[in-house]
Amino acid sequence: MDVVTVWSGLTYGNAFIPVEIQVTYGAGLPAFHMVGMVSESVEESKERVRYALKSVGKTLPQGRVMVAFLPSEVSKSGAHFDLAVLYAFLKGSSERFIVGEVGLDGTVRITPQSLKVIASAYLNGKRSFICPTLTSDILELMPEADFFMIDKVSQLMDGETSKPLPSPNKVAQAKYDLNEVKGSGIKRVALIAAAGWHHMLLLGNPGVGKTMVAERLVGIMPEMSQEEKLDLLSTTGSFPVQRPSRFTSWNSTPAGFFGSAKGSPGEATFSHRGILIMDEFPQYRKDILEGLRTVLDTGTIVASYGNQRLTWPADFLLVATSNPCPCGYLGHPKKVCKDAPSSVLRYLGRLSGPVADRIDLHYWVKSDETDRYVEGACDKVKAVWEKQYERWHKEGIDHAGKIPGEHVDDLICVSSSIKSMLNDSVEKSGLSRRERHKILRLSRTIADLDGEEDISVAHLAEALSYRQVLPWLKSLVP
């Protein structure tokens, strides 16, 4: 009994699993079986493959046909296995990596799952592919790969590869201008957050521009590198035209926010390498807020489903916005808050716990801030990124906001007087060790943004001010 072997693959979280597809057939009543924990979407490929073969004048072998997907203990789903199965019937065995969806008329299509599998396979050492036609910007991400690309099944017969599709027109990175926001203080905070990859919590009365700033933050960040684009492509299956900026809703479900244990990534993963905006932060479900703690610490999401364990990357910059109370007017210069004190304290309690402790910058956005034009915001942020990468890349760190707590004192050098001032301030304010580390990281970024090599008293004082907003708000409650 002859067995034809072809290769495809699947992604499971951020893990890549090569899939060996074995095809054989023999005498008996006509039957087409697929084994190896295949889902309904894979089972449906039987008819797609059957009719695609007819489009080039071929038919399935007579008798019993058996297709096995190995390893058999991992569930398989998606239409991207179509082309590999069809190739086995049409051409025989191959060592090339084969991915693509096949239509009834013999057309071959690319799918997000196909792109994700191709990018993951490339990152795991695969270099020879048979797949649908890709755009030239996707091919640029994988310069060492050899692609045989086709639009139709007939090209497999002719040995004719397609030319890359032209890349779509690029969208400008700076879609919004930070100077459309009024207030020099909030612009300064946005620069610090973007420059050092510091998570940010913006508090203020309704209409002061909290969401407006969050939407414009991605516009002052440098464009993604080729490595970052390939990383995001292998994670989400979508080609990033610009750095992602995802706006989430307070009524999100845990599966939609963090990802489904059955294999679908959530908003946190789609924000990888970019911005995750959480508007009306205290209104989010408690399980989402609590689950966010681990994600902010590790930059990854772990989900378990039975005995299966998935891990997704979630290295995003969090921008959370919130009103100071349910009615929104606590601390307003002219309007009076109408909420009961117990209601306000309960509302603020959702902000002042372990989650808010993990957010570097807390800032009160005033409605009457003086405004000043910020010139070259993107250039300033890019300069800090380059400086911090040069300083810490040997330790595998590219931003001050990502320095692990246990290494903060080793990697951020300050004078003895600054260290003494920091320790005294932390003790008097009753701040935690984690908050002390965040103040040091912020001080380092503020100094870099100001073009200073040494952290000064002014840099430290500014960093300390970003940890005082929540206590100040609580003091306003009668």
- Count CB neighbours of 184 within 10 A: 14
DSSP secondary-structure letter at 399?
Answer: S
Which amino acid is residue 400, in one-letter code? A
Residue-level pLDDT at 246: 94
Beta bridge partners of 33: 66
Q: Which pLDDT band, with edges at 50, 70 and 90, does 172 fall under?
A: very low
For residue 402, what are the β-bridge partners?
Answer: none
The answer to whether residue 173 scores a pLDDT higher than 60 is no
463 contacts 443 by C-beta, under 8 angstroms: yes
pLDDT band at 36 (very low <50, low <70, confident <90, very high): very high
Question: Are the C-beta atoms of 448 and 384 separated by less than 8 Å?
Answer: yes
Give the residue-averaged pLDDT of 275-280.
Answer: 95
CATH architecture, domain 178-475: 3-Layer(aba) Sandwich (3.40)
Can you tell me the distance from the alpha carbon of 365 to that of 349, in angstroms, rounded to the nearest whole number? 20
pLDDT score, position 375: 86
Q: What is the pLDDT of residue 124?
A: 96
The C-alpha atoms of residue 299 and residue 311 are separated, in whole angstroms, by 10
- Residue carrying structure tokens 């020879």: 128
Query: What would the pLDDT profile of 130-158 be if each residue is shown by its tens digit?
Result: 999 999 999 999 999 999 999 999 999 88
SS (H, E, C) 30-81: CEEEEECCECHHHHCHHHHHHHHHHCCCCCCCCCEEEEEEECCCCCECCHHH
The pTM of the full predicted model, rounded to 2 decimals, is: 0.91
- Beta strands at 15-26 and 64-70: parallel, antiparallel or unpaired: antiparallel
pLDDT score for 174: 43
Q: Provide the residue ranges of all domains of the chain, joining segments of one domain with +.
A: 4-158, 178-475
Angle, helices 377-392/184-196, rounded to nearest 10 degrees? 30
Name the more confident of 370 and 32: 32
Mean pLDDT of the chain: 91
CA distances from 424 to 243, 359, 417, 421 (A): 40, 22, 11, 5
Q: Tell me: the pLDDT tens digits for 360-396? A: 999 999 887 888 888 889 999 999 999 999 999 999 9
CATH of 4-158, one of 3.30.379.10, 3.40.50.300, 3.30.230.10, 3.20.20.80: 3.30.230.10
Q: What is the pLDDT of residues 314-373, one digit of tens each?
A: 999 999 999 999 999 999 988 999 999 999 999 988 887 788 889 999 999 988 788 888
Distance CA 192, CA 200 (A): 10
